Structure 1
Amino acid sequence: MTAARAGNGTGNRDVRGRGFPSRVALSAMEGWIDAAAVPLPPRAVALADLAPALAEGAVLAEPVTAPGDWPPADRAARDGVAVASSDTLGAGSYNPVPLPGAVPVAAGEPMPPGTDAVLPVECIQADGPFIEALGSAAPGEGVEGRGEGVRAGTVLLPAGHRLRPQDLGLFAALGIAALPIGARPRVRIVLAGGPRSGPETLGAMLSALVARDGGVVELVGPLPADRAGLAAAYAAPGADLLISAGRTGVGEDDVAPLALADAGELALHGVALRPGDSAALGMAGTVPALLLPGEPMACWTAYELLAGRAVRRLAGRDSALPHPAVVAVTARKLVSEIGCTELYRVRRTVEGMVEPAASPHKPGLAGAVQADGFVLIPAESEGVPVGATVTLRCFDGTSL
Structure 2
Amino acid sequence: MRTVEEHQRVVAELIAARPAVTVGLAEAEGRVLAGDVAAPLSLPVFDNSAMDGYAVRAQDVAGASDAAPVKLPVADDIPAGRTDPLSLAPGTAHRIMTGAPLPSGATAVVPVEFTDGGTDTVEIRATAREGQHIRLAGEDVTAGTTVLRAGHVVSPAALGLAAALGLGRLTVLPRQRVLVMSTGSELVSAGTELKPGQIYESNAVMLAAAAREAGAEVVATPTSSDDVTQFSTVLEGYAGQADLIITTGGVSAGAYEVVKDAFGGSGGVEFVKVAMQPGMPQGAGRLHRAAGPATSDPGTPIVTLPGNPVSALVSFEVFVRPALRAAMGLPNPHRPRRNAVLTEGLTSPKGKRQFRRGVYDPTAGTVTTYGPPASHHLRWLASANCLLEIAEDVTEMAAGEPVQLWDLS
TM-score by length of 1: 0.77
| Matched AA of 1:167 | A
- The residue that corresponds to 1:46 in the other structure is 24
Instruction: Kindly indicate whether residue 54 of structure 2 is the aligned counterpart of residue 81 of structure 1.
Output: yes
- SS at the partner of 2:356? strand
1:115/1:290 Cα in 2 relative to 1: closer, same or farther (>3 Å)? same
Looking at structure 1, the residues matched to 276 and 36 of structure 2 have their Cα atoms a distance apart, in angstroms, of 36
TM-aligned CA deviation for residue 387 of structure 1: 7.0
- SS at the partner of 1:300? helix
1:251-330 paired onto structure 2 within 5 Å: 251-254=254-257, 256-257=259-260, 259-267=262-270, 269-285=272-288, 286-318=299-331, 320-321=333-334, 330=342
| Matched AA of 2:333 | A
| Matched AA of 1:37 | I
Deviations 1:176-230 (A, max 9, x none): 011224324332333233328967111221222233332232333323154x665
Looking at structure 2, the residues matched to 319 and 249 of structure 1 have their Cα atoms a distance apart, in angstroms, of 32
1:338-357 paired onto structure 2 within 5 Å: 340-348=352-360, 353-357=366-370
TM-aligned CA deviation for residue 133 of structure 1: 3.1
- The residue that corresponds to 1:217 in the other structure is 219
1:235/1:23 Cα in 2 relative to 1: closer, same or farther (>3 Å)? farther
- Asked whether the equivalents of residues 224 and 234 of structure 2 are also in contact (C-alpha less than 8 Å), the reply is no
Q: Which moved more, 1:191-200 or 1:288-297?
A: 191-200
1:127/1:260 Cα in 2 relative to 1: closer, same or farther (>3 Å)? closer
Q: Which moved more, 1:338-347 or 1:139-148?
A: 338-347
How many residues end up aligned between the 2 structures? Answer: 366
Q: In structure 1, which of residues 157, 170, 175 is the aligned counterpart of residue 166 of structure 2?
A: 175
CA RMSD of aligned residues (A): 3.5
- The residue that corresponds to 2:43 in the other structure is 70
Larger Rg: 2
Looking at structure 2, the residues matched to 385 and 151 of structure 1 have their Cα atoms a distance apart, in angstroms, of 59
| Matched AA of 1:117 | A
Looking at structure 2, the residues matched to 387 and 79 of structure 1 have their Cα atoms a distance apart, in angstroms, of 63
1:130/1:320 Cα in 2 relative to 1: closer, same or farther (>3 Å)? same
| Matched AA of 1:77 | A
- SS at the partner of 2:221? strand
Q: Structure 1: any 5+ residue segments left out of the alignment?
A: 1-21, 396-400
Instruction: Kindly indicate whether residue 134 of structure 2 is the aligned counterpart of residue 143 of structure 1.
Output: yes
Looking at structure 1, the residues matched to 350 and 92 of structure 2 have their Cα atoms a distance apart, in angstroms, of 80
1:129/1:211 Cα in 2 relative to 1: closer, same or farther (>3 Å)? closer
Instruction: Kindly indicate whether residue 405 of structure 2 is the aligned counterpart of residue 394 of structure 1.
Output: no
Deviations 1:342-382 (A, max 9, x none): 33322256976432223544532100122233344455767
Instruction: Kindly indicate whether residue 193 of structure 2 is the aligned counterpart of residue 190 of structure 1.
Output: no
Looking at structure 2, the residues matched to 385 and 203 of structure 1 have their Cα atoms a distance apart, in angstroms, of 37
Q: Which moved more, 1:347-356 or 1:92-101?
A: 347-356
1:35/1:349 Cα in 2 relative to 1: closer, same or farther (>3 Å)? closer
TM-aligned CA deviation for residue 302 of structure 1: 0.9
1:145/1:333 Cα in 2 relative to 1: closer, same or farther (>3 Å)? farther
Looking at structure 2, the residues matched to 312 and 128 of structure 1 have their Cα atoms a distance apart, in angstroms, of 59
- Asked whether the equivalents of residues 235 and 284 of structure 1 are also in contact (C-alpha less than 8 Å), the reply is no
- SS at the partner of 2:304? strand
TM-aligned CA deviation for residue 145 of structure 1: 2.0
1:392/1:188 Cα in 2 relative to 1: closer, same or farther (>3 Å)? closer
- Asked whether the equivalents of residues 110 and 133 of structure 2 are also in contact (C-alpha less than 8 Å), the reply is yes
Looking at structure 2, the residues matched to 150 and 94 of structure 1 have their Cα atoms a distance apart, in angstroms, of 41
- Asked whether the equivalents of residues 234 and 263 of structure 1 are also in contact (C-alpha less than 8 Å), the reply is no
Looking at structure 1, the residues matched to 394 and 143 of structure 2 have their Cα atoms a distance apart, in angstroms, of 51
- The residue that corresponds to 1:247 in the other structure is 250
| Matched AA of 2:24 | A
Deviations 1:60-93 (A, max 9, x none): 4444332222111221111111222333333322
Deviations 1:217-271 (A, max 9, x none): 2333323154x66566667732321111112222244353463344452346222
Identity across matched positions, percent:
28
TM-aligned CA deviation for residue 107 of structure 1: 0.9
- The residue that corresponds to 1:398 in the other structure is none
Deviations 1:77-123 (A, max 9, x none): 11111222333333322332345232211111111111232111122
| Matched AA of 2:61 | T
1:385/1:82 Cα in 2 relative to 1: closer, same or farther (>3 Å)? farther
Looking at structure 2, the residues matched to 260 and 268 of structure 1 have their Cα atoms a distance apart, in angstroms, of 9
Looking at structure 2, the residues matched to 254 and 312 of structure 1 have their Cα atoms a distance apart, in angstroms, of 30
1:324/1:152 Cα in 2 relative to 1: closer, same or farther (>3 Å)? farther
Looking at structure 1, the residues matched to 51 and 393 of structure 2 have their Cα atoms a distance apart, in angstroms, of 60
Deviations 1:309-343 (A, max 9, x none): 3443454534714x677776544456556754433
Looking at structure 1, the residues matched to 341 and 58 of structure 2 have their Cα atoms a distance apart, in angstroms, of 58
- SS at the partner of 1:297? helix
Instruction: Kindly indicate whether residue 379 of structure 2 is the aligned counterpart of residue 366 of structure 1.
Output: yes
Q: Structure 2: any 5+ residue segments left out of the alignment?
A: 73-90, 188-197, 289-298
